[in-house]
Amino acid sequence: MDNNKIKKTAAIILAAGLGKRMGSDLPKVLHKIHNTPMIMSVCDAAINSVGSDIIIVIGYKGEEVKKTVSQKYGKKKYNIQFAYQEKQLGTGHAVLCAVDYLSDNIENVVILYGDVPLLKTPTILDFINYHNSKRSDITVLGVKVKKPTGYGRLIIHSDIELSAIVEEADATSEQKKINLINSGIYCISKKLLSDYIFQIKSNNVQKEFYLTDIIGIGYKEKKKIGAFIKDESVEFMGVNSIEDLRYLETHISLHGRKTSFLPQN
């Protein structure tokens, strides 16, 4: 796998949440799919994509998450680090907790989630390669869906560049018709990330720091912002409830870890 790894790219994996809808006090990312904690599947994909530069943001019962990951990777030659997010104040704040852990030689950072367990190495590699080939400053992985309700919409400018991500609550009636949504997965220049992450404000209803605001900041500064677009698939499905977990378990039982399109109800 070494030949497939993207040099000078680090991965930040967000894994700090409790996951209230999971119905237990276990850290969300330690819930298992076929006896494998979700965070381990994400770590495997990240390591096989970027190599040893991995920062995992932990929070709720973080020591349990750290112990689980370290049992597999602690004795190997991986530079897995853990950044602690004391209070869950949004995705922007989670990334802020991790930026100081990035190595000096890193050029780009891919941001992943510990509760998206079916994301595959080839997809991450294609995503980063697309970002590099377009010489973008920021790239978002967008997903075309039939039912976009509840998700942030990607606003494409001049058919080639992304100008904003508009959340459902803030979207106009026309914007709500857009079926291109934000997966939450980003590839960002380390230099810009280290600068822009401090510019994010919590001036929203939830009083949280949203990573999506980086798009608007970059667009105003005329940075090159792109979207890597994929079709709807279980590969991009985040686990937010026990029902989601069981759905993915059933999918794996029927299809293995191959990705396929979600059923359209």
Catalytic residues, by residue number, are 21
Three-class HEC string of the chain: CHHHCCCCEEEEEEECCCCHHHCCCCCHHHCEECCEEHHHHHHHHHHHHHCCEEEEEECCCHHHHHHHHHHHHCCCCCEEEEEECCCCCCHHHHHHHHHHHCCCCCCEEEEEECCCCCCCHHHHHHHHHHHHHCCCCEEEEEEECCCCCCCCEEEEECCCEEEEEECHHHCCCCHHHCCEEEEEEEEEEHHHHHHHCCCCCCCCCCCCCCCCHHHHHHHHCCCCEEEEEEECCHHHCCCCCHHHHHHHHHHHHHHCCCCCCCCCC
